[in-house]
Chain A
Amino acid sequence: MDSVFHPLTLVTFFPLLGVLAILFVKPEKKNAHRWIALVTSLFTLGISLWVLAQFDASNPDLQLVINLPWIQVAGWNIHYALGLDGLSVLLVMLTTFLTPISILSTWTAIEERVKDFMIFFLMLEVGMTGVFLAQDLFLFYVFWEFTLVPMYFLIGIWGGPRRMYAAIKFFLYTMAGSLLMLLAILWLGINQGTFNVPELVAKGGIPADIQMWLFLAFATAFAIKVPMWPLHSWLPDAHVEAPTAGSVILAGVLLKMGTYGFVRFNLPLFPAAAIKAAPWMALLAVIGILYGAAVSYAQRDIKKLVAYSSVSHLGFVMLGLFALNPQGIQGGILQMINHGLSTGALFLLVGMVYEQTHTRDFDVYGGLWKLMPVYGTLTLIVALSSMGLPGLNGFVGEFTILLGAFGSDAIGSPWYAGFAAAGVILAAVYMLYMFQKMFLGPEGSIVAKVKEHGHALRDLNAREIITLVPLLVFIFWIGLYPKPFFTLMAPAVDKLVALLQATAVAMH
């Protein structure tokens, strides 16, 4: 029983209780499904806060570890192992935090087959939390692949006109990458005799050339998920077609599984390869930053703009992680959270206006600030956070990342950070372009068109504001006083950096 009521087991699998409850309710009782899902996800959030309360921020190691034999046949040494440390604690919180928000955003947006939707959504939460907690490579892989299924259906059933195409592409693309990772995992399990991540890290000793192959295998899976340039082709399709809540979770959490994978596995398991690869990863990251920003600017579809902006933002995360120093990695992890908050909020905002207008074409918008002052103001704050205005969360992450990358020994040259910093200009260009097109200037044609249908554009209602306020609280909190967030991850990152530095010394 201890294993069932273990905090990490509970936080991971609690949403399944909600699934179970939903199964017993008739499909036509839509509100019941909504409420069950919301309450379940709020309970899960509560459990995660309870977990957070037990988390000792000063301890760099895994905590609340649970480790039970799972599959022990034919020499396979697979465990049900969960654990939490500074690298994952914020991401777990982000997951449990964004899930209820996303569910709340579907209240009126999802009317078809609410029951199925909520089931998939809660299952998705299980998978995501599991990914961030798993400390056994095999278990991690199961969770990792498991997230694909509900997301596939969320896009494929409740998505836009090209949903099938987007869903299948999302599925196959990410799965193709994962298969290489699976091979690498199997290699590790067979040759090192364990799938347990901390044990593998402690054991080390993988020859340099093999390390590089394993690094690349893992990196392929993660880079597709992030997505790093040029493996981002699935992202605009998935984002544009996904329903709002799907986009929020996709951008907010699923992409972070990729960046998290780099921190959790690529850096500590293959440190020598990571050091060698750092300049190349940084190069791809910088290309992604600039390319993503330029391509964002040229979009005519609001959601596509936000989707491509993720390529740019996650380029920053990757640049920070591969700085391989405390500033870069802490900034990178914080920026994962920041991107989840800001881009999540952006997708919510886009969805809110889309519900009223049913179009995401820039050209028909304009002058909305006057008609929807609250909506305009909140969008402006989120857009500013996304473009890194000091005082809001994005700046703290970007600045520490740039600072880390600028002086990184592993990357080896300040030029990368210099070019990345130019991305800050480009971010202002596309974000302000979006804001201006939608909210400033004279009224766009959509205003009249909505009126023709007998409605008038309304400002945000209470539910919509409640959906956004928690995000805004953190956008300001992290922007003004990021210390508690850095404190949570600092010891774990320091430990990781110490390992990397020891490796670097040994290499020279």
Chain B
Amino acid sequence: MILSEIATSGPNFFYLAPWLVFIPLIGMLTNLLIGKRLGEKAIGGIASTASGLTFVVAVLLALSLRAYPEGTTVPFADWITIGELQLRWAFRVDTLSTTMMLVVSGVGTLIHIYAIGYMHEDVRYKNDPGRFRRFFVYLNLFIAAMMILVSGDNYLMLFVGWEGVGLCSFLLIGFWYEMDTLGRPSTANAMAAKKAFVANRVGDFGFLLAVLTMFWVFKSVQFTDVFASAQQIAESNPGAILAITLFMLLGVAGKSAQIPLYVWLPDAMAGPTPVSALIHAATMVTAGVYLVARTAPLYVLVPQAQATVALVGGLTALFAATIAVGQYDIKKVLAYSTISQLGFMVAAVGMGAFVAGMFHLITHAFFKALLFLSAGSVILGVERGHHHAAHHDGHEDDHAETFDPGDMRNMGGMRKTMPVTFWLYLIGALALAGIFPLAGFWSKDEILAEATALNFTVYILLAIAAFFTAFYMGRQIWMVFFGKPRHEAAAHAEESPPVMTIPLMVLAALSLLGGALNLPGVETLAHWIERTFETFGVKLHPAEFNLNVAITSTVLALVAIFLSWLLYGRKPLTDGQPDPLKRILGPLFTGMENKWWIDELYWAVILNPYIALARFFADVIDWRFWHDWFHDTVIAGTYQWLSKTALNVWADQRGIDAFANGLGNTTKALAQRLRGLQTGFVRNYALSVFIGVIVILGYLILQ
């Protein structure tokens, strides 16, 4: 009672909202302008402080929401005003957007700190310490763009942030743009960056169409306006809402890496590991989930769209999980796992379980960031070990050429060399596998429980995906940390410094305890987020804890882990031995290993045809036919032939002959005078045309 009284008279920090964007921008500009003189510690400090202060602002906004739970809009500037089109930059502060702000800036800050340690080593292994600053400039820019995305009060601002984070993603995937992931000179990383941008652009195209449709249907793209008249439009023009929500789904598929646009995310692992954690696991890729949750008032009006979204999410969850099983790269496993988990979230928000989706978004941010960063710690540990070993044997030069520090087949037994990282990784893995009582158990279970009630097909898909999840995480743990080292680099691996492990410990604690955010019966998060949905008239489906579902998924997870132990733990992999699953699954495993050849399919069906078409247009149609044949041969050629013929006819007639000579002489004299400008008769020709026009004009005027 007292608490709520304080709450209603509590302080209001809403006016601080613009600082969400400006603080990271200031951090970015500071490093951009004077970072060069400051050194690594200061650069990392400035960037992390900027991100940390952004988190503080987000916390203050969250506190203010206790007093004003319905949220508010903080106007900032008019952007474009043309007729009915009135776009402004304003900040929407409500429980939904603030949840995202907290996750982004909170996890973001931890990753900033971690990156100080990680990038310190990374830039040195890659022989370019100067690039340290660039990394933190990009990272702050990303936080700013992500804040624009989550804080916008209208779809266009959301779109601005949406594309902005895409740019940062592009820049950071291509951070080492002159090499491949193993540091060899190559365009591979650059191609990965481009692939991400273009795949996202396809999604953005959908988003853009959604915004355009929305404007002409609602005459506004502001959340409040659109949601207020949603019901009425749904009655008068249901097709429009279906179109808007489906176009949006394409955007979601791009940003949140769902079928059919997920293909960019695994390649995005070319970026430094903190990027994979921050952008390609915890925050940016969840923007699609946020978009659907944000647009709940529209989605709930069109069940077909909801079913489609849920199905896309469910299929993606399962499909990506199967691929994760067949990967050898420690980060690739996590990448496919991320796609799969995003599928869980998309499925959740698609079927109307908005709270469950957001809950999983939060816990996933914790444990997936933990996993990625720990994987980064492992990779650097192996790299250190490799350096160490190479140094001993004295073959310094060729080490970067052939050795892949991220390949799990090179690892093994690392729980002994990197004990801290091992425990942290284990917590992340168990949380992801959904083991009681870690964070992932609660959030995943809430999705599964809701699915049994809302969409049973999707439940089946997700349950199988959860089984695969536990299996591939088990496989990874056994391969990386158990058994004997399969490479001397793993044997000599060294633990990472505290600047890296301490942020990991915070994330590990959150992964352990994050379930407390929304425990069944208490449902703190549900009550918190509910307020936003109620403001916009969306009645949330009350989540119920379903013991049967919980037991089923726990059993499935345990069986999967047991199976993974049978295959990878009981008799650890030896150097050069093929994956034991290959023997059992045969061609199926080959499919998983090769990502079901989806990339190859896209090349065959979309990219190569487009390239061929573009070349055909450029070379055959535009150049040989239109430029050379039509213009040069047909038009110019005919004209030349005609004029020559005409000249010959005239030449026979004396009077005209004389006139032509006279004209010719005049022209010649004129040309002689202008010869200083340029030689060549083509110019004279053009000049005479021009003079001719002037003569004609003069005649017309003076007649």
Whether A and B are associated in the same complex: the answer reads yes
Query: A188 at the A/B interface (Cβ < 8 Å)?
Result: no
B686 interface residue, CB < 8 Å from A?
A: yes
Query: Given the complex, which residues of A lie within 8 Å of B209, measured CB to CB?
Result: 418, 421
With an 8 A cutoff between CB atoms, is B215 at the interface? yes
Instruction: Indicate if B402 sits at the interface (CB-CB under 8 A).
Output: no
Residues of B within 8 A of A407 (CB): 212, 215-216
Q: Contact between B678 and A424 (Cβ–Cβ < 8 Å)?
A: no
B208 touches A402 (CB 8 A): yes
**Mask of B668-703 contacts with A, CB within 8 angstroms, 1/0:** 000000000110101101100110010001001111
Name the residue on A nearest B130 (C-beta).
Answer: A373
| Cα A145 to Cα B677 with chains together (Å) | 20
Q: How far is the CB of B445 from chain A (nearest CB, A)?
A: 38
A360 at the interface (CB under 8 A from B): no
CA distance A439 to B177 in the complex (A): 9
Q: Can you name the residue of chain A whose Cβ is closest to the Cβ of B208?
A: A421
Main SS at interface, chain B: helix
Interface contact B212-A298, CB-CB below 8 Å: no
Q: Kindly provide the distance from the CB of B615 to the nearest chain A CB, expressed in whole angstroms.
A: 5
Asked if B164 is at the interface of the complex by the 8 Å CB criterion, the answer is: yes
Digit string of A149-185 for contact with B (CB within 8 Å is 1, else 0)?
A: 1001100110000001101110110010001001000
Stretch at the interface among A122-130, A202-210, A480-488: A480-488
User: How many residues of B sit at the interface, in one of the four size bands?
Assistant: 35 or more
Known: A230-B626, A327-B85. A145 touches B693 (CB 8 A): yes
- In the bound complex, do residue A71 and residue B190 qualify as a contact, i.e. CB atoms below 8 Å apart? no
Interface residues of B in 208-246 (CB under 8 A from A): 208-209, 212-213, 215-216
Q: Check if B617 sits within 8 Å of A291, measured CB to CB.
A: yes
Contact of A294 among B208, B614, B631, B693 (CB under 8 A): B614
Q: Does A62 contact B (CB under 8 A)?
A: no
Bound form: Cα–Cα A272–B209 in Å: 30
**Within the complex, what minimum Cβ distance (angstroms) separates B401 from chain A?**
14
A400 touches B212 (CB 8 A): no
Closest beta carbon of chain A to B271's beta carbon, Å: 14
Interface residue from B83, B677, B680 paired with A153 (Cβ < 8 Å): B677
Given contacts A164-B682, A186-B700, A433-B194, contact A172 B83 (CB under 8 A): no
Residue pair A424, B177 in contact (C-beta under 8 Å): no
Q: A298 contacts which of B208, B619, B697 (Cβ < 8 Å)? A: B619
Report whether A295 and B614 are in contact in the complex, using a CB–CB cutoff of 8 Å. Answer: yes
Q: Which of A116, A295, A400, A481 is the one whose CB lies under 8 Å from B77?
A: A481
- B79–A483 contact, CB under 8 A? yes
With both beta carbons as reference points, the residue of chain B lying nearest to A376 in the complex is identified as B177
Q: Is the CB of B197 within 8 A of A149?
A: no
Task: Note all chain A residues with C-beta closer than 8 A to B697.
Answer: 182
Taking CB as reference atom, which chain B residue is nearest A164? B682
Whole-angstrom CA separation of A172 from B202 in the bound complex: 41
- Using Cβ atoms and an 8 Å threshold, which residues of chain B touch A179? 693
Residues of B within 8 A of A74 (CB): 701-703
Query: Does residue A306 face the partner (Cβ distance < 8 Å to B)?
Result: no
Number of chain A interface residues as a range: 35 or more
Q: How far is the CB of A437 from chain B (nearest CB, A)?
A: 9
Task: Check B212–A421 contact: CB distance below 8 A.
Answer: yes
Q: Is the CB of B81 within 8 A of A486?
A: yes
Q: Does B159 have its Cβ within 8 Å of any Cβ on chain A? A: yes
Nearest A residue to B160 via CB reads A390
* Bound complex: CA A391 to CA B25 (Å): 13
Contacts known (A389-B163, A424-B201, A432-B198); A414 close to B686, Cβ less than 8 A: no
Is residue A80 within 8 Å, beta carbon to beta carbon, of the partner chain?
no
Q: How far is the CA of A62 from the CA of B514 in the complex (A)?
A: 66
Q: Which residues of A contact B618 (CB under 8 A)?
A: 294-295, 297-299, 308
- For B159, what are the chain A residues with a Cβ–Cβ distance below 8 Å? 390
User: Which of B82, B683, B700 lies in contact with A164, CB distance below 8 A?
Assistant: B683
Q: Is B198 touching A425 in the complex (CB atoms < 8 A)?
A: yes
Complex Cα–Cα for A494 and B179 (A)? 53
Closest A residue to B179 by beta carbon equals A442
A165 to B179: give the CA distance in the assembly, Å. 42
Shortest distance between the CB of B309 and any CB in chain A (Å) = 21
Q: In the complex, what distance in Å separates the CA atom of A325 from the CA atom of B216?
A: 13
Cα distance A367–B187 in the bound complex, in angstroms: 9
Contacts of A78 in B (CB 8 A): 701
A92 close to chain B: CB less than 8 A: no
Interface residues in A211-239 (C-beta closer than 8 Å to B): 230, 233, 236-237
* A425, A443, A486 pick with most chain B CB within 10 angstroms: A425
The contact sample of 20 A-B pairs, CB cut-off 8 A, is A153-B678, A167-B686, A168-B686, A171-B686, A233-B626, A297-B618, A299-B618, A331-B82, A389-B167, A390-B160, A390-B164, A399-B80, A403-B85, A417-B212, A425-B198, A425-B201, A428-B197, A441-B186, A442-B178, A442-B187
5 new A-B pairs (CB below 8 Å) besides A186-B700, A295-B614?
A116-B677, A425-B201, A436-B190, A440-B174, A442-B185
Interface residues of B (CB under 8 A from A): 77-83, 85, 156, 159-160, 163-164, 167, 170, 174, 177-179, 185-187, 189-191, 193-194, 197-198, 201-202, 204-205, 208-209, 212-213, 215-216, 610-611, 613-615, 617-619, 622, 626-627, 630-631, 677-678, 680, 682-683, 685-686, 689-690, 693, 697, 700-703
Identify the 3 closest CB pairs spanning chains A and B, nearest first. Answer: A298-B618, A440-B190, A441-B187
